Structure 1
Amino acid sequence: MNCRSEWNQINYKNNVQMRIAAHCAQVLAGVKPSNSVTLGREDTTVFIQALTGTGIQRRLIYDGVKRCVWLLYRENELEHYLMIREHQEFMKSCGYNSVRLSDTFSVLCKNFRQYKNGERGFPHELGLILGYPLCDVEGFIRHQGRGCLFSGYWKVYGNAEDTRKLFEVYDLVKYQIMKQVQNNKTLAQITASYPNYGILKSSRNICCPCCFNVTGN
């Protein structure tokens, strides 16, 4: 099954729950520590209601005049991922001196706001906070976004074979969750239908789809 061609046929532009599913399926399914989604300010109430009962945390990263950037995350998994020694060293090099998520988010929000105001460059540490492998975040910075091995959910600079398999998992859960929303299931019902896979706790955050029996009902 070609998941991408299937989900492209689903209309989600005017449905907040479907937009959450399209952009944040991986964190909803538990195969990624976090995702981000941009929504209109007028969607905030519906957005918060949609997440009720999912166990997914939210953080407002940027509050624009018309649009808001939200981070959806699983607290334990994201904390563990950022606590990996190499990740701590990278975050410290970006000006993050505390390992607490609340402090990390405060610095990220400040950096993102300054970026949107034209006061600094893009905060590439957001990639690590989104669970991207460190080698790909550093590769993107080093090569200024050019010369990647391939691109999908992010630009890949190392471990291409494993990352392709990971992207297949991401594609599958995105298709499954969008179809369930299309069938009028709530996000709380959907997250409850996925076993607790957990996020692979490694320095590269690479997992293989054979590690999962991703069947979301």
Structure 2
Amino acid sequence: MSFDEAVVHCGAPALCGIKPSCLFSVHRKMYEKMKVREWSSEFKKDGRYIIALPKENERMLLFVYDKHLLEKQCTPCCVRKYLKRKRYPVESGFNAVLAELLHRLSAEQNFPHEVGVFLGYPLEDVKAFERTSGKACRYSGFWKVYGDIDTAQKRMNVYKACSVQCSELVRNGMAVPAAAKEYMAAIYRSY
């Protein structure tokens, strides 16, 4: 799998504006810094970003996010309370919360449990995962579901379809930003 294919396979839902964020890693040898810079300038126009965080284990962690969707995800009172309990600076605003998340992702060996909130997972599922150490879920897909399975499966199917369609566009020679735009245009045309 090429770097382009890996980014689209794992990050398309955020790059296409249907998921607040995606988080995945690639081997440092696969990582293409110049492409990320180029793509970032393209995606920035639409409020989407790709942040690369080096890890100690020869991996690059990529956090891909749609700023509008991520900020909206962090806005509900219950989410803000949860993040505050996790010592995020919610009173300082979204940018401070995002900076804290990125710091934790780059500094900690394991993912903090609350990362699920930023990835768009239901708070109920994030808390249950934390409480049960990931056991006894009712369904497992993009995340472990403890609550509403039907809604979760529908959302996961949308994410998967996005990744599959964008991956196909990239395999056929389209650049990553163009593939995301084409997918979004196709979605809008279908309405």
Q: Please, what TM-score do these two structures have when normalized by structure 2?
A: 0.85
Tell me how far apart the structure 1 counterparts of residues 55 and 155 of structure 2 sit (CA, whole Å). Answer: 31
Aligned AA for 2:155?
L
Q: CA RMSD in A?
A: 2.4
In structure 1, the partner of 2:27 is 40
Tell me how far apart the structure 1 counterparts of residues 82 and 53 of structure 2 sit (CA, whole Å). Answer: 20
Q: How many residues align?
A: 184
Return the offset for 1:114. Answer: 4.5
Asked if 1:57 corresponds to 2:44, the answer is: no
Asked if 1:85 corresponds to 2:85, the answer is: no
In structure 2, the partner of 1:26 is 13
In structure 1, the partner of 2:108 is 115
Return the offset for 1:24. Answer: 0.7
**Higher-helix-fraction structure:** 2
Within the candidate set 66, 76, 84, 2:58 is matched to 66
Q: Give 5+ residue unaligned stretches, structure 1.
A: 1-11, 198-211
- 8 Å contact 1:35–1:71 — kept in the other structure? yes
- 8 Å contact 1:23–1:37 — kept in the other structure? yes
- 8 Å contact 1:52–1:188 — kept in the other structure? no
Q: For 1:88-130, what per-residue CA distance to the aligned partner results, in whole angstroms no more than 9, with x for missing partners?
A: 01100100123533322332234334431xxxx6411111111
Question: After superposition, where does 1:38-187 map in structure 2 within 5 Å?
Answer: 38-42=25-29, 43=31, 44-54=33-43, 55=46, 56-64=48-56, 66-98=58-90, 100-116=93-109, 122-187=111-176
Tell me how far apart the structure 2 counterparts of residues 63 and 133 of structure 1 sit (CA, whole Å). Answer: 27
In structure 1, the partner of 2:4 is 17
- 8 Å contact 1:38–1:68 — kept in the other structure? yes
Cα 1:58–1:156, aligned 2, differ >3 Å: closer, same or farther?
same
- 8 Å contact 1:16–1:46 — kept in the other structure? no
Cα 1:48–1:97, aligned 2, differ >3 Å: closer, same or farther?
same
Q: For 1:139-189, what per-residue CA distance to the aligned partner results, in whole angstroms no more than 9, with x for missing partners?
A: 101111000001000100000011111111111111101100001111221
- 8 Å contact 2:137–2:145 — kept in the other structure? yes
Tell me how far apart the structure 2 counterparts of residues 213 and 168 of structure 1 sit (CA, whole Å). Answer: 18
Identity level (%): 24
Cα 1:91–1:181, aligned 2, differ >3 Å: closer, same or farther?
same
- 8 Å contact 1:152–1:167 — kept in the other structure? yes
Aligned AA for 1:149?
R
Q: Give 5+ residue unaligned stretches, structure 2.
A: none
Q: Please, what TM-score do these two structures have when normalized by structure 1?
A: 0.75
In structure 2, the partner of 1:209 is none
